Amino acid sequence: MKLVGIAGSVADHSYNRMLLKFIANHFSDTVDLEILDINDVPMFNQSDDQTDSEPIAYLTRKISQADGVIIATPEHNHTLTASLKSVIEWLSFNVHPFSDKPVMIVGASYYDQGSSRAQLMLRQILESPGVNAIVMPGNEFLLADVKQAFDENDNLKDANTVKFLGSTLDKFVKFVRVINMLNEPQPTSAEDEDLTASSKIDTTVEGVDMGADDWVEQAAKKVNAVEGDTYVKLDRGLLTVDQLNAFLNSMPIELTYADSNNQFIYYNHMLPADKMLAPRTPAQAGDPMSMVHPARAVKHVKEVIHMLRTGQRDEIKMPVPGNGPDKYILHAYRAMRDSENKYLGINEYVEDLMPMIKWYLAKTGQKLVDDPDAVTGASAETTDASTGASSANERTVAPVAAPATPETDASTGASEDEEEPTSVASAESISASTETAADSEPDDVTGASEDE
């Protein structure tokens, strides 16, 4: 779980920052806590709007992308510090990253009462209109007599204090999961899927027109995105942005990413649009899904997204109608989820399976033969479930494209008597079917031309 921590002090030596560092190090198996710096945040001044300045944009971005926030507040004159108050003022003026964000309050103080009064004041501020944070109730962690609380290695000395802090953090992790689950939009039906991407998710880039042809460039500038030879730490790798682009663009399949807000945000630009199996254009990146599908496809697009979002299906595969002996183009849509099983969007990949099939046949000495049962849903008694090959001849590979018996649905390629739900089989592409291709070109998944 990704959390960010804010220490409400700009002092060179801050016990509250020390407390956050202890949490980050000692409980690293429970949470990934990144401590944010507020030293460069100017004092709030409504007449001098600095919302777009780097220190405030940095905090806005980090808080928005985090699952939750831990704020460690000292107590000055029975209240929180001017620096922390100013940070919250900026983050509730023209930007609102705390809105609906789970927050846990901790604090360290020189005195016996800890930072109890500052924590109470901070809770009231965070829950006020305009800030709208969701602060975890109860479970206050008040570290008193802080000068004696840490050892020479900045670790808390008292085992019971560490145990209580750990139990409080465990409760906060559960609290974060519940709040974020409630915040996540859950369409009750496929019809409720919003293809206009009008909602907002943690990774939405605000202030940039989704339909702009240069959305990528504008959005990258807005969030100070890295590029070129800057390194990106991945789950199991370290690549520069240039290496990552080269790696994805060299894939033998076409990849697209539509996020959980139904915004088309990426495709691997491996070929010009007119050379792609499912044409995309650079100007489409950033478009809401409603802009990249013809009106006749909207109903089926919503159905497929809804099944993936709600977990009814993890993956949906659809061949393009019109496949024949020389090509077999497949569109596959896979739900992406994080470690907490939160829906992140759709990974669509498109590939022509025939080159690999031909390579396999050449290597194994096998050949394709007519076996209509392999595509019409023959019983398991006559068809090998894993290959579709007739059990009478283990060296026979079933045909990739069978003769039209029974006749396939002209718009979907799905047999009329298949068990696959019509809503899946007849769905258009979930990423970006271009409408700039010639009318005679097949539509992204269905193979239906625009004038059908």
pLDDT tens column, 98-125: 999 999 999 888 876 668 888 899 999 9
pLDDT, average across residues 282-286 = 95
Answer yes or no: is pLDDT of 427 > 60.
Answer: no
pLDDT tens column, 177-191: 888 877 776 677 888
One domain for residues 179 and 197: no
Helix axes 82-90, 116-126, angle to 10 degrees: 10
One domain for residues 234 and 335: yes
What does the pLDDT read at residue 441?
38
For tokens 């409720």, the residue is: 192
With CA atoms as reference, report the closest residue to 396 among 373, 371, 363.
371
What does the pLDDT read at residue 389?
36
One domain for residues 137 and 11: yes
- Residue 303's domain comprises 193-352+419-425
Q: What is the rounded average pLDDT for all residues in the chain? A: 81
Query: Does residue 87 form part of some domain?
Result: yes
One domain for residues 171 and 116: yes
Question: Is-cis flag, bond preceding 319, omega within 30?
Answer: no
Least confident of 61-70, 151-160, 231-240, 395-404: 395-404
One domain for residues 200 and 166: no
pLDDT tens column, 367-384: 888 877 765 433 343 333
> How many whole angstroms separate alpha carbon 81 and alpha carbon 11?
11
pLDDT tens column, 42-60: 999 999 999 999 999 999 9
One domain for residues 165 and 210: no
pLDDT tens column, 226-282: 999 999 999 899 999 999 999 999 999 999 999 999 999 999 998 999 999 999 999
Instruction: State what percent of residues in the chain have pLDDT above 90.
Output: 56
Look at 200 and 276; give whichever has higher pLDDT: 276
> How many whole angstroms separate alpha carbon 401 and alpha carbon 334?
23
pLDDT, average across residues 204-226 = 93
CATH of the domain at 291: 3.30.450.20
Query: Does residue 381 form part of some domain?
Result: no
Query: Does residue 314 form part of some domain?
Result: yes
One domain for residues 208 and 87: no
Taking every pair of Cα atoms in the chain, the longest distance, rounded to a whole number of angstroms, is 87
> How many whole angstroms separate alpha carbon 297 and alpha carbon 80?
55
Query: Does residue 392 form part of some domain?
Result: no
One domain for residues 37 and 131: yes
One domain for residues 18 and 102: yes
CATH of the domain at 124: 3.40.50.360
pLDDT, average across residues 378-406 = 36
> How many whole angstroms separate alpha carbon 436 and alpha carbon 210?
18
Q: What is the 3-state secondary structure (H, E, C) of the chain?
A: CEEEEEECCCCCCCHHHHHHHHHHHHCCCCCEEEEECCCCCCCCCCCCCCCCCHHHHHHHHHHHHCCEEEEECCCECCECCHHHHHHHHHCCCCCCCCCCCEEEEEEECCCCCCCHHHHHHHHHHHCCCCCCCEECCCCCEEECCHHHCECCCCCECCHHHHHHHHHHHHHHHHHHHHHHHHHCCCCCCHHHCCCCCCCCCCCCCCCCCCCCCCHHHHHHHHCCCCCCCCEEEECCEEEEHHHHHHHHHCCCCEEEEEECCCEEEEECCCCCHHHCCCCCCHHHCCCEHHHCCCHHHHHHHHHHHHHHHCCCCCEEEEECCCCECCECEEEEEEEEECCCCCEEEEEEEEEECHHHHHHHHHHHCCCECCCCHHHHCCCCCCECCCCCCECCCCCCECCCCCCCCCCECCCCCCECCCCCCHHHHCCCCCCCCCCCCCCCCCCCCCCCCCCC
Q: Which residues pair with 362 in a beta bridge?
A: none
Number of domains in the chain: 2
What does the pLDDT read at residue 254?
96
Query: Does residue 333 form part of some domain?
Result: yes
Answer yes or no: is pLDDT of 204 > 80.
Answer: yes
Look at 452 and 116; give whichever has higher pLDDT: 116
Instruction: State what percent of residues in the chain have pLDDT above 70.
Output: 81
Residues 6+ away with beta carbon under 8 Å from 258: 264, 265, 289, 345, 346, 348, 430, 431
One domain for residues 239 and 158: no
One domain for residues 106 and 250: no
Query: Does residue 175 form part of some domain?
Result: yes
Residues 219 and 286: beta-carbon distance below 8 Å: yes
Q: How far is CA 317 from CA 280, 336, 417, 448, in A?
A: 19, 15, 17, 17
Look at 168 and 414; give whichever has higher pLDDT: 168
What does the pLDDT read at residue 399?
39
pTM of the full structure: 0.56
What does the pLDDT read at residue 145?
82
One domain for residues 203 and 176: no
- pLDDT bucket at 442, cuts 50 / 70 / 90: very low
